[in-house]
Chains A and B, each alone.
Chain A
Amino acid sequence: MGRDMLQSIGHLPMVWMAFAVLAATGCLAFVAGRSAAMGFTAAGTGPLNSQPNYHGYYTAMCAVVPAAIILLGYGLFGGGIARGLLTGELPSGFADFSPIQLEQYLDRVRDASQLDAAAYSGAQLFSAVTERYLTLSGGVKLSALLAALLAAAGGFAYARSRLAGSFRARAQVERGVEIMLFLCAAIAIATTLGIVASLFFESLRFFAQIPVLGFLFGTEWNAQTNADFGAVPLFFGTFIISLIAMCVAAPIGLYAAIYLSEYAGPGVRAWVKPVLEVLAGIPTVVYGFFAILVVAPFVREGALWLNALPFIPDEFLAASSTNALAAGLVMGVMIIPFVSSLSDDVINAVPQSLRDGAYAMGATKSETVKQVIMPAALPGVIAALLLAVSRAIGETMIVVMAAGLRPQITADPTAEITTITVQIVSLLTGDSEFDSPKTLSAFALGFVLFLMTLVFNLIALRVVQKYREKYD
């Protein structure tokens, strides 16, 4: 009987159960706390320090928070616990399974256990294991719910014991609110820590198998076959494509910013600025499709035409159907708005008095821009360009779709080329096992990528901040 009950609990959707438990305990604790406070006024022990509602909030807070922590813990580790218990009980035949086979088997068990009993009536052993898993996970769920209820009761008892007419409930509740707000702000830090830790530790595991120097300076990359892990071709590809992109974005973005801030009337500005911002809002996967639909064939045709010219040797250009030039050009267009809107801000921050001074000396507008405004705005413009470079290095979808997969070091922009981000995607899509160097190398590449963009971002943000303060 107990087993059946556990199994039916195993079927219950835990999220709703958790919400129900939290909401119910919260409401009950609130009502109890509030009526206790009303009791104090009725007993005539003098005026309450805080309104009865705050007593209610306080008891509810004390009851819900510990329960929520326990349920959150279940949410994070509950599945793993049930799995671990099941693995311990599996018959000895499973000892032959490799860890991955075992994982896949357990995944199947877990998926089957979500269905109705009739649906997994397959092999006898499988359904027995599934039933056992259901019982175990039901047990874990039940104990988590009971522990949460107990914790809520404990919290409530503690809160109730502190309630009194003179109890400063509001101050306590507000302290709680502040702590909660702080925790939310700390999540941003936790995210960074999570990124650094996950990249760092997976990279460590990678470098335990592959030497660091071989990774950083090797020129052969064949990660799919777990053979060579020399990442120089990827760094090179990333560099070339970012270079092409910046050759497009830097002049266009800068000139657009100068025109908009120095020449354009308010009407033109009001129209052109949002339209340029649209370029930043288009998803990168759409840019990638545009690159393979329009730009890459165009580049290929151009390269074939050049190859056909009499004074150029045959096959001088690779004219590949996915090529660095197409990816770089489209990426350049994508980052135009980053350059233009940031530079626009910096140029506008240059005080009007500098312009007036230059005009008074008889300088034309372009002379003012070139000789007065740009030198004054230079640090900010450089910061904008750095942010754009960091964007280009980390950009993924355009290069995945348009740049290709072949790691090679070549100066030919019409050749297929690959980048750090392309390799990360191609190594981690599909079924990935977390202990082969192939998968781990993606994290090492990610770590390099993260460090590179971090340096660019930190310098750029520093410069922007300093610069803003100077003229504000």
Chain B
Amino acid sequence: MTDQTAPTRATRPSSFNDEAAKKRLRKRNAAERRFKFYGMAAIGVALAFLVLFVFSIGSQALTAFSHHKIKFDLPLTAETVAPEGVGDTAAIAENVSGFYQLVRENLAERFPEAAADGRERELNDLVTRLAVLPMARATAENPGRIGETFAYSAALSDDLDLYLKGAVAPETRFKSGPVTDVMRTLQNGEKRIVLRGDGAFDRIVSEQAALRSGEGGTILLQSETSIARLIDSSPDGVSVELLTGDLAGFDGPRADVRVIPLAEDARNVTDRQIAWTLALKEDGRLSRGINWALLSNADSTFPEIAGVLAAIVGSLFTMLITAMIAIPIGISAAIYLEEYAPKNRVTDLIEVNINNLAAVPSIVFGLLGAAVFLNFLALPRSAPLVGGLVLGLLTLPTVIIASRAALRSVPPSIRSAALGVGASKTQTVLHHVLPLAAPGIMTGAIIGMARALGETAPLLLIGMVAFVAEVPSGPTDEATALPVLIFKWSTGAERAWEPNTAAAIVVLLTFMVLMNALAVFVRRRFERRW
């Protein structure tokens, strides 16, 4: 041995201080730093994603949690509101057209120019027909109000609401110079209104030039409740078209100018609708408030009056059934496997099977539900009962695995002690082991339920995507669940569904966070470490 190592030692530089060794060391240290940096970068990417996620969903949801409403003072005349007679409350509650007529008349009275131009539909679109339903129901509950004036706030149409929240186009606003002269002229055979003012419109001229070279757009001039649309501009005067209000309003003061850099055809709100909305705002009839309807309404085809209540109740029924299936059966199965099962091939099979079942894709459980519960057992489609059964089977392995871990953590001395004083096997387990394992079991069960709450795919396959406008009253009613509602809203064509979806997501995540917090609380408060 020594003969062989001696020559090697002689040929190899033994110094750790020469240049080559230092270079190697620097290289190795650089590799070390790089490696550590990769690790930090990986975690950084994951955390950055989470931040981006929270920010993008949160900012969308914030838009949906407030909305605009128009205040109305509507005289409830018996012939419009209750054509079937004041006594027939059921007919009053369903008389949406009658109540909507009141709203329409009110708007037409405020903006007579709409009827003159044949633009009633455009005006009526400020408020969705179904938005008067709560008023109809309130009147039906208290028919004594008929004949009185009803102060009612109806949700503004979703597109205009988005416009006011600045989500339609990045609008620029500024004030023009003082208008000195308003006159009507005839230009190229067309009646025109021209505003004049010394150097008042310089910025408007440049903005309009910018719009024309870009993708088009509208410039609105507002003076209190009078609103006009710009047609043409030159430094000494602008010609406009009056959309609402009267011309006299423009004489004297500086006009508020809004530049909307999106052509009228490219958006869902017309210039006139914007003008009317702004005029209502100037009237003080438009207010922005918390969108309680989002929480207290059932689903609707109109985003401004759609809410998550029915889906929450549907999810609640589904979770009830899920809990009734997964928790008792899961705990019993865990007790059997952990405390009773002899070590043989059957129990081995059950064990492998449970571990595997926990990793089966959730959509496969949906197929099971469709084939067995719907087709074979003919249970009702779209019902929380079936949804709960499917999710119960899906959650079962999770509960079993968590419960087994909790049972396993109870020290054997407890069992020996109980058996030693003459308890039977069942008494040992039920009276001593199970109570000690209960906190761990409950924690696992709650976390499993929280996960089931977010499951979507299996529910789609058993038909819980049906449109449900009524709050379900039992587990066999047609219903939808919160995550399915999120899916459905996210596929909605109108822009306003986007913030609504984000808001529904916030509601769902709130429930999940609460459940997880409860699980953490149970663990911290009750769990014993041995």
Please list the residues of chain A having a beta carbon within 8 angstroms of any beta carbon in chain B: 76-77, 79-80, 83, 170, 173-174, 177-178, 180-182, 184-189, 191-192, 194-195, 198-199, 202, 251-256, 258-260, 262-263, 272, 275-276, 278-279, 281-286, 288-290, 292-294, 333, 336, 364-367, 369-370, 387, 390-391, 393-397, 400-401, 421, 424-425, 428-429, 432, 434, 442-443, 446, 449-450, 453-454, 457-458, 461
B102 interfacial by beta-carbon distance below 8 Å: no
Produce 1/0 per residue, B43-56, CB < 8 A to A: 10111011011001
Residues of chain A lying within 8 A (CB to CB) of residue B195: none
Residues of chain B lying within 8 A (CB to CB) of residue A401: 487, 490-491
**Shortest CB–CB separation between residue A377 and chain B, in angstroms?**
15
Q: Which residue of B lies closest to A460 (CB)?
A: B359
> Given the known A-B contacts A289-B505, A397-B487, are A259 and B43 also in contact in the complex, defined by CB atoms under 8 Å?
yes
Q: Return 6 A-B CB contacts under 8 Å, by A number.
A: A181-B340, A199-B364, A275-B47, A283-B454, A366-B32, A424-B363
Residues of chain B lying within 8 A (CB to CB) of residue A260: 39, 43
Q: Is the CB of B370 within 8 A of A394?
A: no
Q: Is the CB of A450 within 8 A of B364?
A: yes
B248 interfacial by beta-carbon distance below 8 Å: no
A181 to B329, CA, bound (A): 8
Interface centre among A199, A262, A279, A283 (most CB of B within 10 A): A283
B38 interfacial by beta-carbon distance below 8 Å: yes
Residues of chain B lying within 8 A (CB to CB) of residue A272: 43, 47
Stretch at the interface among B62-70, B77-85, B129-137, B372-380: B372-380
A401 to B357, CA, bound (A): 26
A387 to B147, CA, bound (A): 69
A294 to B57, CA, bound (A): 9
Interface centre among A180, A199, A290 (most CB of B within 10 A): A290
A118 to B359, CA, bound (A): 50
| Chain B 486-504 interface residues, beta-carbon cutoff 8 Å to A | 486-487, 490-491, 498, 501-502
Q: Is the CB of B57 within 8 A of A252?
A: no
B361 interfacial by beta-carbon distance below 8 Å: yes
A282 to B40, CA, bound (A): 23
B36 interfacial by beta-carbon distance below 8 Å: yes
Q: Is the CB of B340 within 8 A of A394?
A: no
Residues of chain A lying within 8 A (CB to CB) of residue B490: 285, 288-289, 292, 401
> Given the known A-B contacts A191-B368, A333-B46, are A366 and B336 also in contact in the complex, defined by CB atoms under 8 Å?
no
B149 interfacial by beta-carbon distance below 8 Å: no
Q: 11 additional contacts, CB 8 Å, given A396-B456, A396-B457, A454-B360?
A: A188-B333, A188-B353, A254-B42, A282-B454, A283-B455, A283-B508, A286-B57, A293-B498, A364-B32, A391-B359, A425-B461
Residues of chain B lying within 8 A (CB to CB) of residue A256: 39, 42-43, 46
> Given the known A-B contacts A178-B426, A185-B350, are A281 and B450 also in contact in the complex, defined by CB atoms under 8 Å?
yes
Q: Is the CB of A393 within 8 A of B361?
A: yes
**Shortest CB–CB separation between residue B413 and chain A, in angstroms?**
21
Q: Which residue of A lies closest to B365 (CB)?
A: A195
Interface centre among A185, A256, A275, A390 (most CB of B within 10 A): A185
Stretch at the interface among B118-126, B152-160, B237-245, B393-401: B393-401
Q: Is the CB of A293 within 8 A of B450?
A: no
Residues of chain B lying within 8 A (CB to CB) of residue A263: 36, 39
Q: Which residue of B lies closest to A192 (CB)?
A: B353
Residues of chain A lying within 8 A (CB to CB) of residue B509: 282, 286
B465 interfacial by beta-carbon distance below 8 Å: yes
Q: Is the CB of B483 within 8 A of A293?
A: no
> Given the known A-B contacts A186-B350, A192-B353, A421-B363, are A284 and B456 also in contact in the complex, defined by CB atoms under 8 Å?
yes
Produce 1/0 per residue, B403-425, CB < 8 A to A: 00000000000000000000011
Q: Is the CB of B42 within 8 A of A255?
A: yes
The 8 Å CB contact of B367, one of A178, A191, A198, is A198
CB-CB nearest 7 A-B residue pairs: A394-B361, A259-B39, A283-B454, A198-B371, A366-B35, A184-B332, A255-B42
B451 interfacial by beta-carbon distance below 8 Å: yes
Q: Which residue of A lies closest to B508 (CB)?
A: A283
**Shortest CB–CB separation between residue A49 and chain B, in angstroms?**
13
B185 interfacial by beta-carbon distance below 8 Å: no
Q: Is the CB of A428 within 8 A of B332?
A: no
Q: Which residue of B lies closest to A262 (CB)?
A: B39
Residues of chain B lying within 8 A (CB to CB) of residue A199: 364, 367-368, 371
> Given the known A-B contacts A198-B371, A281-B451, are A184 and B333 also in contact in the complex, defined by CB atoms under 8 Å?
yes
Q: Which residue of B lies closest to A395 (CB)?
A: B361
Residues of chain A lying within 8 A (CB to CB) of residue B491: 401
Residue count of chain B within 8 Å CB distance of chain A: 90
Residues of chain B lying within 8 A (CB to CB) of residue A294: 52, 56
Residues of chain B lying within 8 A (CB to CB) of residue A449: 361, 363-364
B31 interfacial by beta-carbon distance below 8 Å: yes
Q: Which residue of A lies closest to B53 (CB)?
A: A290
B209 interfacial by beta-carbon distance below 8 Å: no
Chain A contact residues: over half helix, strand or loop, or mixed?
Answer: helix
Q: Is the CB of A461 within 8 A of B329?
A: no
A263 to B38, CA, bound (A): 12
Q: Is the CB of B486 within 8 A of A285?
A: yes
B268 interfacial by beta-carbon distance below 8 Å: no
Q: Which residue of A lies closest to B505 (CB)?
A: A286
Q: Is the CB of B356 within 8 A of A192?
A: yes
Produce 1/0 per residue, B136-154, CB < 8 A to A: 0000000000000000000
Residues of chain A lying within 8 A (CB to CB) of residue B357: 188, 191-192
B510 interfacial by beta-carbon distance below 8 Å: no
Q: Is the CB of A80 within 8 A of B486?
A: no
B322 interfacial by beta-carbon distance below 8 Å: no
**Shortest CB–CB separation between residue A332 and chain B, in angstroms?**
10
**Shortest CB–CB separation between residue B510 and chain A, in angstroms?**
12
Residues of chain A lying within 8 A (CB to CB) of residue B57: 286, 289-290, 293
Q: Is the CB of B465 within 8 A of A429?
A: yes
The 8 Å CB contact of B333, one of A187, A278, A390, A432, is A187
Produce 1/0 per residue, B290-319, CB < 8 A to A: 000000000000000000000000000000
> Given the known A-B contacts A199-B364, A283-B455, are A181 and B349 also in contact in the complex, defined by CB atoms under 8 Å?
no
Residues of chain A lying within 8 A (CB to CB) of residue B349: 189
A387 to B359, CA, bound (A): 8
B337 interfacial by beta-carbon distance below 8 Å: yes
Q: Is the CB of B508 within 8 A of A286?
A: yes
A348 to B169, CA, bound (A): 53
Q: Is the CB of B333 within 8 A of A177?
A: no
B273 interfacial by beta-carbon distance below 8 Å: no
Residues of chain A lying within 8 A (CB to CB) of residue B505: 286, 289
Residues of chain A lying within 8 A (CB to CB) of residue B56: 290, 293-294
Produce 1/0 per residue, B452-464, CB < 8 A to A: 0111110011010
**Shortest CB–CB separation between residue A21 and chain B, in angstroms?**
19
B352 interfacial by beta-carbon distance below 8 Å: yes
**Shortest CB–CB separation between residue B261 and chain A, in angstroms?**
19
A279 to B350, CA, bound (A): 30
A292 to B502, CA, bound (A): 12
Q: Is the CB of A83 within 8 A of B378?
A: yes
Q: Which residue of A lies closest to B490 (CB)?
A: A289
A451 to B350, CA, bound (A): 18
Residues of chain B lying within 8 A (CB to CB) of residue A393: 361
**Shortest CB–CB separation between residue A369 and chain B, in angstroms?**
7
Residues of chain B lying within 8 A (CB to CB) of residue A182: 336, 340
Residues of chain A lying within 8 A (CB to CB) of residue B453: 283
Q: Is the CB of A394 within 8 A of B454?
A: no
Q: Is the CB of B36 within 8 A of A178?
A: no
Q: Is the CB of B333 within 8 A of A185?
A: yes
B362 interfacial by beta-carbon distance below 8 Å: yes
The 8 Å CB contact of A454, one of B356, B396, B460, is B356
> Given the known A-B contacts A80-B378, A367-B28, are A195 and B360 also in contact in the complex, defined by CB atoms under 8 Å?
yes
**Shortest CB–CB separation between residue A15 and chain B, in angstroms?**
9
The 8 Å CB contact of B336, one of A178, A192, A194, A195, is A178
Residues of chain B lying within 8 A (CB to CB) of residue A276: 43, 46
Q: Is the CB of B356 within 8 A of A366?
A: no
Q: Is the CB of B39 within 8 A of A174?
A: no
B341 interfacial by beta-carbon distance below 8 Å: yes
